[in-house]
Amino acid sequence: MLNHMIHVPVSILCFTANFLLIREIHVANVASTGFCQPPTSAGGQQHESHGDLRSLSSSLFIIILHFLYEIMAVHGPVVKIHPVVLASIVDSYERRNEGATRVIGTLLGTTDKHSVEVTNCFSVPHNESEDEVAVDMEFAKNMYELHKKVSPSEVIIGWYATGYDITEHSVLIHEYYSREAPNPIHLTVDTALQSNKMNIRAYVSSQMGVPGKTVGVMFTPLTVKYVYYDTERIGVELLQRTRASPSRTNGLTTDLAQVASAAGRVQEMLTTVLSYIEDILSGKVMADNSVGRFLMDLVNKVPKITAEDFESMLNSNINDLLMVTYLANLTQAQIALNEKLVVL
Amino acid sequence: MCFGPFPLHQTMASRKESAASGSSPLETPVKQIQIDGLVVLKIIKHYQEEGQGSEVVQGVLLGLVVEDSLEITNCFPFPQHTEDDVDFDEVQYQMEMMRSLRHVNIDHLHVGWYQSTHYGSFVSRALLDSQFSYQHAIEESVVLIYDPIKTAQGSLCLKAYRLTPKLMEICKEKDFSPEGLKKACIGFEIMFEEVPIVIKNSHLINVLLLDLQEKSTVADKHELLNLSSSNHLEKSLQLLMDRVDDMNQDIGKYNTYCRNLSKQQQQKQQYLQRRQQENTQRQSRGEPPLPEEDISKMFKPPQAPPRMDTLLIAGQVNNYCQNIKEFTSQNLGKLFMAEALQGHSS
């Protein structure tokens, strides 16, 4: 059962909607400069424009926000996300309750002076309807405590929600999270694939409004980068291969096969480069100096070793490996013998 | 020694009954393991963040059993053993976690546990005990062994093991003497059985992967094609040598035990013979025969050394050898490739 309910009177919703409306008009004006200034003139005049303009304002706001996401200069930290977080979010979306359109949860990670690294997350049950939103905060606190036992260095740095837009409810949830963490990040993952892509966006909130009068909240977008540990990247590479098979499954390959596949990849890349060079030679493509320099580097990277030296190096290495293999086989035979003689 | 996470007997009691009535316990109930991509990523992350100091990180696997394959859909990590109250922490933590996960519709059925390993050294008494208690409570449970060092060399190394039914029998009876093991006819090769793993992703995750591939700017590092091998080989061989030394000691102990036993047998025989002789002598002289003394009290048989450790060491040595052979075969391939490259350019 949900312990804390946030009841939202409709009037407050209207206020935020108003300021959203104001903001988006203003934002359209400053789109070229990339700054956001608090609205100076349109302060208290919009009390009449309630309900009917609300839907228009939110949709307009969304469109402009997404437009701006592409071109705006970003103020605020860079958000670095690990793939495990995104996989978790998608998984919790798939397991959502009947009737819920979106899932929310807490983001955990570490902050830096200029960046925020998101390394973990967990979903939080919540109920959402037209005019109210209820989040189980007790649960969130509990889970955070449990997670802290495992990785004490992770802190709450924000929250996520699946879905395309930022709704009014998000503002409230964001407020709750700003009590938990200084300047929380809001991450949206579009699992409904509204634009044929899974848009992953991050926002940070900032105050806006006329000081002294009602203040609203604005979400400014941030750049999102994906970071991987080395081992994570290898794991993700393996997962990528499941896309190819029709049953979406993939086994783990054995030793020599892996080397073969890695060699295959390099070979592919070499053929691409070769075809590019062919094109240049036959005049189809303009030669590019920087690419030429890279190619020179590439060819020079193969070290020039005299044949005998290389032979001797190769042979000694091969001898080492063969010796180790022989020893390993010998040991295995030995313990098998020992077994037969002693135990059985 | 660190023990794995404990299975929760209360929730699992009902399942055990149904499992016992369902499949026959001697057949392998699990033929294949299906893992979600999410679990793989979580295990990798857990080791990366928390495992650099101590070598072993552990956690619990959650999922469900579908016909003859085990699906693992989620997992959560276990905190490292701290100085304060260990017992209370563990069980409490587990129960809390599973209850909370149930709220968000994550499968809360305990199906196994995972552990990271260092160069393949995981065959130990602790692992055996933990896995035994798991398999005893939950028929189909497995232990996933994740090798981060091998993974960093280029390809994910994740293996799933179960105890063979024979080993389960022995552990149940706790009879580790040489006679007991001989009766069960168990060798180090049939201690653990490996279950093939298959990775499965849902469609939505596939979309996510596509997106990641387009947007991510992390370059491929191709560690798999790295030629340097001596460091890894040295360490593996060092570990192998240590184990073989252990094994030597163990064999020595067993030999002395056998020798002692046979010596004792001889002594017993001699004693009996002398007794007989004396008795016949006395009878010929007409005196009452000496009472038969209790032989077993006089000659106490020497303590038989437990053989379980030998088995474990043998299993571990075998594992090391396997790993080394895989590694060397990979490197041989790479060396031949390098030769081809040189041949081309020169």
Calculate mean pLDDT across residues A123-146. Answer: 80
Picking from A91, A262, A329, the nearest residue to B154 by CB comes out as A262
Q: Tell me the per-residue pLDDT of B259-289, one tens digit each, with 9 for 90 and over.
A: 888 888 888 888 888 888 888 888 888 777 6
B-chain residues within 8 Å CB-CB of A258?
Answer: 154-155, 224, 330
Picking from A193, A234, A250, the nearest residue to B207 by CB comes out as A193
- Which is higher by pLDDT, A227 or B21? A227
- Which is higher by pLDDT, B6 or A316? A316
Q: Is the pLDDT of residue A28 over 70?
A: no
Residue B32 — φ and ψ, nearest 5°? -155, 150
Q: What is the pLDDT at residue B222? A: 65
CB within 8 Å: B199 and A255:
no
Q: What is the pLDDT at residue B344? A: 57
Q: For testing the chain B interface, which of A239, A247, A298, A326 should be mutated: the one with the most B CBs within 10 Å?
A: A239
Picking from B178, B198, B251, the nearest residue to A251 by CB comes out as B198
Q: How far is B263 from chain A (nearest CA, A)?
A: 18
Residue A146 in contact with residue A153, Cβ under 8 Å? no
Q: Is residue B281 less than 8 Å (CB to CB) from chain A? A: no
CB within 8 Å: A226 and B218:
yes
Confidence band (pLDDT; 50, 70, 90) for B220? low
- At residue A109's C-alpha, the angle toward residues A104 and A110, to 5°, is 145
CB within 8 Å: A331 and B185:
no
Q: Tell me the per-residue pLDDT of A229-249, one tens digit each, with 9 for 90 and over.
A: 777 777 777 777 766 554 545
Structure tokens at A132: 């109210």
Calculate mean pLDDT across residues B293-301. Answer: 67
Q: Is residue B22 less than 8 Å (CB to CB) from chain A? A: no
CB pairs under 8 A between A and B: 266
Q: What is the pLDDT at residue A195? A: 64
Where is average pLDDT lowest: A67-76, B44-53, B197-206? Answer: A67-76
Residue B74 — φ and ψ, nearest 5°? -160, 170
Confidence band (pLDDT; 50, 70, 90) for B24? very low
Residue B113 in contact with residue B56, Cβ under 8 Å? no
The DSSP code sequence of A191-234 is: TT-TTSS--EEEEEEEEEE-TTS-EEEEEEEE-EEE---HHHHH
Picking from A87, A307, A324, the nearest residue to B237 by CB comes out as A324
Diameter over CA atoms, chain B: 107
Q: Is residue B341 less than 8 Å (CB to CB) from chain A? A: yes
Calculate mean pLDDT across residues B37-44. Answer: 86
Which of A204-218, A222-236, A244-258, B174-188 holds the top average pLDDT?
A222-236
Q: Is residue A252 less than 8 Å (CB to CB) from chain B? A: yes
Q: What is the pLDDT at residue A36? A: 35
Q: Is the pLDDT of residue A300 over 70?
A: yes
Q: Is residue A113 less than 8 Å (CB to CB) from chain B? A: no
Structure tokens at B293: 């003394």
Calculate mean pLDDT across residues A50-58. Answer: 51
Calculate mean pLDDT across residues A111-128. Answer: 83
Q: What is the pLDDT at residue A17? A: 42
Q: How far is A114 from chain B (nearest CA, A)?
A: 19
Calculate mean pLDDT across residues A158-171. Answer: 78
% of chain A at pLDDT higher than 90: 0
A-chain residues within 8 Å CB-CB of B202?
Answer: 90-91, 94, 248
- Across chain A, how many H-helices and E-strands are there? 9, 11
Q: How far is A197 from chain B (nearest CA, A)?
A: 7
Q: How far is B267 from chain A (nearest CA, A)?
A: 24
β-pairing, B110-116 vs B142-146, is parallel
Token pair 């060079």 in the structure block, residue: A277
Q: What is the pLDDT at residue B13? A: 38
Structure tokens at A10: 């409709």
Q: Is the pLDDT of residue B333 over 70?
A: yes
Q: Tell me the per-residue pLDDT of B171-208, one tens digit each, with 9 for 90 and over.
A: 777 656 666 666 666 677 777 888 888 877 777 777 77
B-chain residues within 8 Å CB-CB of A200?
Answer: 211
- Which is higher by pLDDT, B72 or A9? B72
- Which is higher by pLDDT, A311 or A165? A311
Mean pLDDT of chain B: 75
Q: Tell me the per-residue pLDDT of B79-136, one tens digit each, with 9 for 90 and over.
A: 776 545 555 567 788 888 888 888 887 877 888 888 888 777 777 778 888 888 888 8
Q: Is residue A119 less than 8 Å (CB to CB) from chain B? A: yes
Q: For testing the chain B interface, which of A311, A324, A344 should be mutated: the one with the most B CBs within 10 Å?
A: A324
Q: What is the pLDDT at residue A82? A: 86
Confidence band (pLDDT; 50, 70, 90) for B346? very low
Q: Is the pLDDT of residue B18 over 50?
A: no
A-chain residues within 8 Å CB-CB of B78?
Answer: 150
Contacts of B146-149 with C-beta under 8 Å, sequence gap 24+, read B146/B43, B146/B44, B146/B47, B146/B114, B146/B115, B146/B116, B146/B117, B147/B116, B147/B117, B147/B119, B147/B120, B148/A231, B148/B44, B148/B47, B148/B48, B148/B51, B148/B116, B149/B118, B149/B119, B149/B232
Confidence band (pLDDT; 50, 70, 90) for A30? very low
Q: What is the pLDDT at residue A41? A: 36
Q: What is the pLDDT at residue B25? A: 41
Q: What is the pLDDT at residue A18? A: 45
Q: Is the pLDDT of residue B56 over 70?
A: yes
Q: Is the pLDDT of residue B221 over 80?
A: no
Q: Is residue B333 less than 8 Å (CB to CB) from chain A? A: yes
Q: Is the pLDDT of residue A42 over 70?
A: no
Calculate mean pLDDT across residues B233-241. Answer: 83
Which of A55-64, A284-293, B219-228, B321-330 holds the top average pLDDT?
B321-330
Where is average pLDDT lowest: A43-52, A303-312, B49-58? Answer: A43-52
